[in-house]
């Protein structure tokens, strides 16, 4: 436990947005900055591990829905120990505790030695959950739980999951299997089909197959799949919504293709009651009370602890190694996350 907080810290800083992702990553700089001063309701977290997600990459490119004033420190989530608290009982209660934290809005993020977070946006960690797994607790596990909860609440008997071989897609598979909820998993390569089947996926389709749309439409009809968790956008979004049964809803939560949704048949929307809507985790949580959010977070932690879901990690990097590690993540996303660990020699596995 740290007793003395330094005056300065090292952080990975984004000075300009670059539409070309490799240029955006190469432009990140490790900079010495003042350790922030806390306001009421805030805590200072010493970061042990911080994840990189597709939403972080969109921010680097200036394509995320909520941009930050530059220069800024990226990183939407991370895990560490609270070393100081601002005014307020909750902030003081968190001091000394291991937490996962999320940073929203126009604020410096988690790719640094320290980050300021709102106490209400910190999740106390259960024993048995390492910092490495906690670093990715919020974005992927809570999104998977949120999408499945949304589908169930709206009466969808089964769902579709695109980009299903990714970290989030595999979490949807594992949680849905545990809940007994049927999901059609869509991937784009044959080796990904075999991967998901080895993980227990029963309905796995390859979008590169010649008869994909025909097989997809038949599977949706057979399983009554009227919800889709869509992470790709572009042509995929149009193909999915057009091939699904009447009264289907596509929940768009990602834009991996980087392209606008295309090819949606207007008659399907007008006459068949099909719709496309966005799913944004922060808004989903805001529409629920704090108790619900904490209960959901505890469920996510237990799923990680008991091994139902896992954040696969392909590499751990220091701040100085971050640019190289982030480029590796972009090139090999299916291989797992890259964790940014400001003090890589520290025992981040302790629980």
Shared-domain flag, residues 116 and 223: no
Q: Over 90: is that where the pLDDT of 289 sits? A: no
Residue 161 CA to residue 207 CA, distance in Å, equals 12
- 27, 18 Cβ separation under 8 angstroms: yes
In a domain, 248, yes or no: yes
How many whole angstroms separate alpha carbon 221 and alpha carbon 159?
11
Q: To which H or E segment does residue 18 belong?
A: none
Q: Which residue has the tokens 């006459």?
A: 271
Do 127 and 103 fall within a single domain?
Answer: yes
User: CATH number of the domain that 46 lies in?
Assistant: 3.90.180.10
pLDDT tens digits along 72-108: 999 999 999 999 999 999 999 999 999 999 998 889 9
Domain membership of residue 302 (yes or no) is no
Phi, psi of 51 (to 5 degrees): -90, 160
pLDDT at 60: 96
Supply the pLDDT for residue 65: 82
Radius of gyration of the chain (CA): 20
Do 16 and 85 lie in one domain? The reply is: yes
Q: For 188-201, how does the pLDDT look when each residue is reduced to its tens digit (9 = 90+)?
A: 999 999 999 999 99
Q: Which two tokens stand for residue 178?
A: 């545990």
Determine the pLDDT at residue 346. 47
**Nearest of 350, 305, 351, 344 to residue 49 by alpha carbon:** 344
150 with 126, same domain? no
The span from the CA of 184 to the CA of 197, in Å, is 12
At 3, is the pLDDT very low, low, confident or very high (cuts 50, 70, 90)? low
**Residue 297 in domain:** no
Residue 232 near residue 257, CB atoms below 8 Å = yes
Which structure tokens are listed for 275?
A: 């719709």
Are 108 and 153 within one domain?
A: no
The answer to whether 105 and 59 have CB atoms below 8 angstroms apart is no
What pLDDT, on the 0 to 100 scale, is given for residue 293? Answer: 86
Is residue 347 assigned to a domain? no
- Tracing tokens 């596990």 back to the chain, one arrives at 141
Is the same domain home to 102 and 130?
Answer: yes
- 202 and 97 in one domain? no
Same domain for 16 and 147? Answer: no
Strands laid side by side in the 225-230 sheet: 203-206, 182-187, 158-161, 225-230, 249-252, 275-278
Q: Clarify whether residues 184 and 265 are in a common domain.
A: yes
3-class secondary structure, 152:
helix
Q: How many CB atoms lie within 10 A of CB 269?
A: 14
How many whole angstroms separate alpha carbon 209 and alpha carbon 213?
A: 9
Mean pLDDT of the chain: 94
- Does 205 reside within a domain? yes
Residue 294 lies in a domain: no
Task: Find out whether the peptide bond into 84 is cis, omega within 30 degrees of 0.
Answer: no
Q: Is the pLDDT score of 348 beyond 50?
A: no
Q: Residue 126 belongs to what domain range? A: 8-136+311-340
Beta strands, E only, the chain: 8-13, 29-34, 42-51, 77-85, 98-102, 114-118, 122-124, 158-161, 182-187, 203-206, 225-230, 249-252, 275-278, 313-317, 337-340
Question: Which of these three, 261, 282, 303, is where a domain ends?
Answer: 282
Would the pLDDT of 1 be above 80? no
Does the pTM exceed 0.85? yes
CATH number at residue 266: 3.40.50.720
Same domain, yes or no: 120 and 174: no
Please give the Cα distance from 42 to 122 (Å, whole number). Answer: 10
**Interval 249-261: pLDDT, tens:** 999 999 999 899 9
pLDDT confidence bin for 350, thresholds 50/70/90: very low
172 and 275 assigned to the same domain: yes
pLDDT at 299: 96
pLDDT digits (tens, 9 = 90+) for 302-313: 999 999 999 999
The two most distant CA atoms of the chain are separated, in Å, by 65
pLDDT for the residue numbered 347: 47
Of the residues 266, 282, 298, which one is the last residue of a structural domain? 282
Residue that terminates a domain, selected from 238, 262, 282: 282
Does a structural domain hold residue 299?
Answer: no
As given in the structure block, the two tokens for residue 142 are 């809570």
Same domain assignment for residues 98 and 152:
no
Q: How many domains does the chain have?
A: 2
Q: Is residue 192 part of a domain?
A: yes
């Amino acid at each position: 436990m740290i007793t003395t907080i330094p005056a300065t810290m090292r952080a990975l800083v984004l000075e300009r947005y670059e539409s070309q992702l490799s240029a955006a990553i190469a432009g990140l700089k490790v900079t010495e900055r003042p350790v922030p001063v806390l306001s009421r309701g805030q805590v200072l977290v010493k970061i042990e591990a911080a994840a990189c997600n597709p939403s972080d990459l969109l921010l680097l490119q200036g394509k995320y829905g909520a941009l930050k004033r530059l220069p800024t420190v990226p990183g939407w989530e991370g895990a560490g120990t609270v070393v100081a608290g601002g005014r307020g009982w909750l902030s003081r209660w968190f001091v000394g505790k291991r937490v996962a934290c999320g940073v929203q809005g126009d604020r410096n993020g988690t790719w640094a030695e320290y980050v300021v977070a709102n106490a209400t946006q910190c999740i106390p960690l259960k024993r048995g959950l390492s910092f490495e797994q906690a670093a990715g607790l919020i974005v992927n596990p809570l999104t998977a739980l949120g999408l499945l909860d949304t589908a169930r609440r709206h009466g969808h008997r089964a769902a579709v999951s695109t980009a299903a071989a990714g970290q989030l897609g595999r979490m949807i598979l594992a949680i849905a299997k545990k809940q007994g909820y049927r999901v059609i998993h869509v991937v784009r390569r044959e080796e990904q089909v075999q991967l998901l089947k080895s993980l227990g996926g029963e309905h796995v389709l390859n979008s590169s197959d010649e008869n994909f749309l025909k097989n997809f439409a038949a599977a949706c009809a057979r399983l009554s799949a009227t919800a889709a968790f869509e992470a790709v956008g572009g042509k995929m979004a149009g193909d999915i919504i057009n091939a699904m049964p009447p009264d289907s809803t596509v929940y768009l939560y990602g834009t991996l293709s980087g392209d606008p949704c295309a090819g949606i048949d207007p008659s399907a929307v007008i006459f068949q009651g099909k719709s496309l809507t966005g799913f944004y985790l922060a808004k989903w949580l805001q529409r629920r009370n704090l108790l619900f959010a904490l209960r959901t977070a505890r469920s996510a932690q237990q799923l990680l602890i008991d091994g139902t879901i896992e954040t696969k990690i392909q590499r751990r990097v220091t701040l100085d190694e971050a640019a190289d590690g982030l480029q590796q993540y972009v090139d090999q996303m299916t291989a797992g996350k890259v964790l940014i660990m400001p003090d890589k020699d520290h025992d981040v596995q302790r629980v």
